[in-house]
Amino acid sequence: QPYGKSFNGGIRVAVLRGTSSLQIVAAPESGAKPVRRFSLQGKQVGGSVYPFGKSYGGGIALAAGDVESIGAGYVLMTQLSAKTPRVRVYTADGAYLRQFAPFTIKGLTGLNIAVGDVNGDGVSDVLAVPASKNSAMVRMFDGHGGAL
C-alpha cells in the first residue's frame, strides 16, 4: 500500500531495472501524492518525488527503461490530466534530467506512455499516446525527446 490504507485511488506501476536490484515504481492515478520506489519486498527505497509539484493532483502515468543505453534505469513520468502534458525523465535515484512535450494539440487532456526498443537499435524508445479516448495517435521518441 504505497499511499496507506486510507488511499482508495488507482495506482500506476512500472518495474525499474538497471539498479543494483529490481524496484517497483508507484504513481497515483489521482490525488496530490508523490511517486515512490519500492524494493520487491515492499520497503520504500529512497525519497519521494513530486514530478509536477506538490499541488498537482491530476494523476501520473509512468514507464521505466534504459533511455540512455548505458545499462541504467530511468523513470519517465507524465500527467494524466494537463493541457500541455510533458514527459519528464528521472534517474533511478530520483534526480530530474529533462522534459519534452510529445504533443502540442489543443484540447489534449493528458498522456499515457510506454518504453521499449521500437526501432531495434538496442536503446529504449518512448511511446506517447493521448489519454483521451477519442484519439488514436501514437508518437515515438528517443530518450531525449527527439522524434523517431
> Residue 43's pLDDT is what?
93
pLDDT band, residue 115 (cuts 50/70/90): very high
pLDDT in the model for residue 18: 63
pLDDT band at 104 (very low <50, low <70, confident <90, very high): confident
**pLDDT for residue 47:** 85
Q: What is the pLDDT of residues 67-103, one digit of tens each?
A: 887 777 889 999 998 888 899 999 888 889 999 988 8
pTM value is: 0.87
- DSSP-derived pairing of the beta strands 23-28 and 74-79: unpaired
pLDDT in tens, 12-69: 999 998 667 889 999 999 989 999 999 999 999 888 999 999 999 999 999 998 888 7
Residues 6+ apart with CB under 8 A from 92: 16, 18, 19, 23, 37, 72, 73, 74, 75
